[in-house]
């Protein structure tokens, strides 16, 4: 049975439809929770990351914080090293939002505050695997590594890139309406309001698209495993 290391940076960011598809594809999932729930407001924790060469793939999820934030610098640095080690060993990495930003920074790209933050469902243009409507929640954006291939973008930011066996995403294929409610209840409501969004309407909009999003998330995982991870 192939093994997947799923790095969840906080208790509000589960793997959702993405990790579910890995399970359907036969993967045994080991979850590493970086910041425990009782440290959510004080994320400067000490973390020992495992050797990625012990796994067949990595799934690196989103987070509340910024990759460049001082409060997470103590564990971002070793996580970047883990991602580089995985790449050197040919272990595929699937990075989502914060995870995609880590992938970019680990391989020569950068992360900075976005000039056009996105919350809600937004269109992405690109290769069939990423083209379409996806949920977004980000106030930062990545500049992909110089040797990466951008496979999805919109007017706000690059949205997806491929680098060797790595896939970095800015959008959230894993998020459903229930997950969104968790984010809103943990301080996200203010961020949504700052962009002029009604949180209740946002949840119902996402709930209406949940079935289609789950199907497209599964297809995206298939593309990662069947095309990108075997390069």
From 107, 122, 172, 223, the catalytic residue: 172
- Report residue 117 CA to chain centroid gap: 16
Q: Let me know if 172 is a catalytic residue.
A: yes
Tokens 């949920």: give the residue: 135
Please spell the DSSP secondary structure of 190-212, one letter per residue.
Answer: HHHHHTT--HHHHHHHHHHHHHH
Instruction: Choose, from 79, 97, 107, 118, the residue flagged as catalytic.
Output: 97
DSSP-assigned letters across all residues of the chain: --EEEEEESSTT---HHHHHHHHHTTPEEEEEESS-GGGTT----------GGGSSEEEE---SS-TT-GGGHHHHHHHHHHHHHHHHHT--EEEETHHHHHHHHHTT-EEEEEEEEEEEEEEEEESTTT-EEEEEEEEEEEEPPTT-EEEEE-SS-EEEEEETTEEEESS-TT--HHHHHHHIIIIIHHHHHHTT--HHHHHHHHHHHHHHHHHHHHHHHHHIIIIITT-
Record the tokens describing residue 160, joined without a space: 């997806």
Residues annotated catalytic, as ranges? 97, 172, 174
């Amino acid at each position: 049975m192939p093994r997947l290391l799923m790095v969840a940076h906080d208790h509000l960011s589960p793997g959702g439809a993405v990790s579910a598809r890995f399970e359907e594809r036969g993967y045994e999932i080991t979850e590493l929770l970086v910041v425990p729930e009782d440290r959510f407001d004080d994320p400067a924790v000490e973390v020992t990351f495992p050797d990625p060469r012990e796994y067949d793939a990595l799934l690196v999820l989103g987070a509340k914080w910024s990759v460049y934030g001082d409060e997470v610098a103590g564990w971002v640095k070793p996580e970047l090293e883990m991602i580089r080690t995985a790449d050197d060993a040919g272990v595929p990495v699937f990075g989502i939002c914060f995870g995609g930003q880590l992938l970019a920074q680990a391989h020569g790209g950068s992360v900075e505050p976005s000039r056009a933050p996105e919350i809600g469902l937004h269109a992405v243009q690109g290769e069939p695997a990423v083209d379409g409507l996806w949920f977004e929640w980000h106030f930062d954006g990545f500049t992909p590594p110089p040797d990466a291939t951008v496979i999805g973008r919109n007017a706000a930011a690059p949205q997806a890139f491929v680098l060797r066996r790595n896939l970095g995403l800015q959008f959230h294929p894993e998020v459903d309406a229930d997950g969104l409610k968790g984010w809103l209840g943990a301080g996200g409501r203010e961020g949504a309001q700052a962009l002029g969004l009604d949180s209740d309407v946002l949840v119902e909009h996402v709930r209406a698209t949940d079935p289609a999003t789950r199907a497209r998330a599964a297809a995206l995982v298939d593309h990662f495993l069947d095309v990108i991870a075997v390069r």
